[in-house]
Structure 1
Amino acid sequence: MKKPIAWILDSTAYVTEEFKAHPDVYVVPLNLHFGLEEFVDGVDLSNEQLYQRIKAAPEFPKTSQPSAGRFAELYEKLKEEYECGIAIHASAKLSGTIASSVSGAQMSNFKLYAVDSMALSYGLSGLLERGLELAEQGLEAEAIALQLEAETTNFRNYILIGNLTQLYKGGRMSGAQYYIGSLLQVKPIVQLTPEGELAPIDKVRSHKKAVQYLLNHAKQDHADYGVNTFQVIHANIPGEAESVKQEVLKFAPEANVLIGNISSSLAVHAGEGTLALMWRKPPQ
């Protein structure tokens, strides 16, 4: 008898140890390109090696989505074990991964419900947590996918980019947005919008004030909506991430505050020193 649902993520997601060990969760990695060299996200390079390469690379590193063939290979195996799959992918405005996933499912004749998270990182893994919860409640796969799509607007994120030049050269930020963020001594607060686009939403005059901006919004949603799970992601600045966690615990001492490294495929665009605070509002 086949199991009901396979859960698929791409490697832009923040993948917890729990998800890595989950028997029904599968992660398809993106590719990293340094010149003619190609690496598999999260597999071929440690965090330390990644940032060393970024600093030393004469050309800006690039990423590419997994091919439809790679997804088809996975889905050929999954259709023997599962009735269907729910794939939660990075925003289609930022990556073509979801298109490759859908094509791979068609090639392998695997029944797949593909969800555009309109997000990155914890935006994907938070939806996975919610999907598993809905499955435990007995919802069918199609109903779960529809509910997850409806809840993408519950994702909140505030991001301090470590290197705006990398983001701009990588094509993830327009020239006008880059110009605004590059003004003298201005620290832009960047956000993944509800439409799945990356855009600056505010700017402050110091890094300290920028971090406080993130914390103020987290504190407000904790008070207004009872948010009690927060995700601090960072690019090679664990000390600062821990400091943000401790600040969150001051206004929400009972909260679950997770700290995680930004994925390699995101780090090549955002740059070392990136810091983000993310959470999901409870479904209403």
Structure 2
Amino acid sequence: MSRHVAIITDSTAYLPQQEMERHSITAVPLTVVLGDEAFEEGTEVSARSVAQALQKRKPVTTSRPGPDVFAAAYREAAAAGAEGIVSLHLSAELSGTYDAAVLAAREAPVPVRVVDTGMVAMALGFCALAAAETARAGGTLDEAVAAAEKRAHGTAAYFYVDSLDYLRRGGRIGAAQALLGSALAVKPLLQLDGGRIEPREKVRTASKAIARLEEIVVERASVAPVDIAVHHLAAAERAAQLAERLRERVPGLVDLHVSEVGAVIGAHTGPGLLGVVVSAR
């Protein structure tokens, strides 16, 4: 009989609450700072309040959880009966969250495998679900890690932003910096590549960019079966319309999630974000 394996992720996974409860997944919160006030993502600050602050050009920053926060989560999981923990986090290229988890894992009362998924948002969430499903089926610590890593390998994330300015301010723009010179003339499509935000294509208008985003996703989703997540920030109508078109055009679709991103990702992408995660099962 397999030992009980607990799954811990962070608040940028943006998993639906019912999925977290069903799979007993714990999310450690990152912090959002509005002006001089700090708030925990997921419980103390909304993405909408971040969007409003950005639109008013108020200072918005984010920070990782401290190792002590992870240490407390690991102790709690062990006290609840876990004999091993898989700790899955957003790309180390985008945040120091993974490093904080690694530090805490050294002092944990049970073995902890910390994984840099190279992902974020539901790209990370799908990895956590894969690990949780394996653990619930009696899988070992290594098997749960392998399931998450396999899911990450088969997952892609693409997104459209109205402006690169927010990514530039947050220092998360990577090679997409090269697009800034023509940022007023183009609407950029970006992707996660190697855990970094990289340029995918430049399109002249918002409508053409969103149409192109749809085509990229449909092409990627040709390897069935797949799960898809559509994320947005202050663009609910756009997201709903895109999700409906993808539902009609992707024959191998299993699950489709539509949600607004949380405050941390919203702080770096700004209002108007439209992102799609495609994850092969």
Matched, 1:103 2:103: yes
1:5–1:24 CA contact under 8 A, matched in 2: no
Cα distance in 1 for partners of 2:215, 2:46 equals 33
Secondary structure of the equivalent of 1:49? Answer: helix
Cα distance in 2 for partners of 1:21, 1:139 equals 19
- The C-alpha deviation readout for 1:78-130, integer Å capped at 9, x for no partner, is 21221011111000111111111121122333311111111100111111221
Secondary structure of the equivalent of 2:148? Answer: helix
Letter in 2 for 1:34: L
Letter in 1 for 2:68: G
The residue that corresponds to 1:76 in the other structure is 75
- The C-alpha deviation readout for 1:37-74, integer Å capped at 9, x for no partner, is 11111111233323222333543x11100000111112
Q: Equivalences for 1:111-122 in 2 at 5 Å?
A: 111-122=111-122
Matched, 1:250 2:255: no
The residue that corresponds to 1:204 in the other structure is 203
Q: Do the aligned partners of residues 155 and 222 (structure 1) sit closer, same or farther apart at CA in structure 2, a change above 3 Å counting?
A: closer
Letter in 2 for 1:28: V
Secondary structure of the equivalent of 1:101? Answer: helix
Q: Do the aligned partners of residues 206 and 56 (structure 1) sit closer, same or farther apart at CA in structure 2, a change above 3 Å counting?
A: closer
1:119–1:192 CA contact under 8 A, matched in 2: yes
Q: Do the aligned partners of residues 136 and 44 (structure 1) sit closer, same or farther apart at CA in structure 2, a change above 3 Å counting?
A: closer
Q: Do the aligned partners of residues 28 and 136 (structure 1) sit closer, same or farther apart at CA in structure 2, a change above 3 Å counting?
A: closer
Cα distance in 2 for partners of 1:109, 1:208 equals 52
Cα distance in 2 for partners of 1:71, 1:164 equals 32
1:116–1:149 CA contact under 8 A, matched in 2: no
How many residue pairs were aligned? 278
2:86–2:141 CA contact under 8 A, matched in 1: yes
- 1:253 Cα offset (Å): 6.1
**Which of 238, 241, 258 is matched with 2:239 structurally?**
241
Letter in 1 for 2:248: K
Identical aligned residues as a percent: 25
1:221–1:227 CA contact under 8 A, matched in 2: no
- The C-alpha deviation readout for 1:157-189, integer Å capped at 9, x for no partner, is 110023311101101014x63341451321111
TM-score scaled by structure 2?
0.91
Cα distance in 2 for partners of 1:30, 1:199 equals 23
- Which structure 2 segments of 5+ residues have no match? none
Q: Equivalences for 1:1-284 in 2 at 5 Å?
A: 4-22=4-22, 24-59=24-59, 61-80=60-79, 81-174=81-174, 177-183=176-182, 184-193=184-193, 195-223=194-222, 225-252=223-250, 255=253, 256-282=255-281
Letter in 1 for 2:71: A
2:4–2:135 CA contact under 8 A, matched in 1: no
Cα distance in 2 for partners of 1:253, 1:152 equals 22
Cα distance in 2 for partners of 1:178, 1:21 equals 39
Cα distance in 2 for partners of 1:95, 1:172 equals 9
TM-score scaled by structure 1?
0.90
Q: Do the aligned partners of residues 206 and 18 (structure 1) sit closer, same or farther apart at CA in structure 2, a change above 3 Å counting?
A: same
Cα distance in 2 for partners of 1:147, 1:229 equals 15
Q: Do the aligned partners of residues 251 and 150 (structure 1) sit closer, same or farther apart at CA in structure 2, a change above 3 Å counting?
A: closer
Secondary structure of the equivalent of 1:108? Answer: coil
Q: Do the aligned partners of residues 3 and 47 (structure 1) sit closer, same or farther apart at CA in structure 2, a change above 3 Å counting?
A: same
Letter in 2 for 1:94: L
Secondary structure of the equivalent of 1:243? Answer: helix
- The C-alpha deviation readout for 1:197-242, integer Å capped at 9, x for no partner, is 111121111111111122112222333x124421100001111100
1:89–1:115 CA contact under 8 A, matched in 2: yes
2:188–2:200 CA contact under 8 A, matched in 1: yes
Letter in 2 for 1:268: A
- 1:254 Cα offset (Å): 7.1
- Over aligned residues, Cα RMSD in angstroms? 2.2
Secondary structure of the equivalent of 1:232? Answer: strand
2:46–2:262 CA contact under 8 A, matched in 1: no
Cα distance in 2 for partners of 1:129, 1:23 equals 7
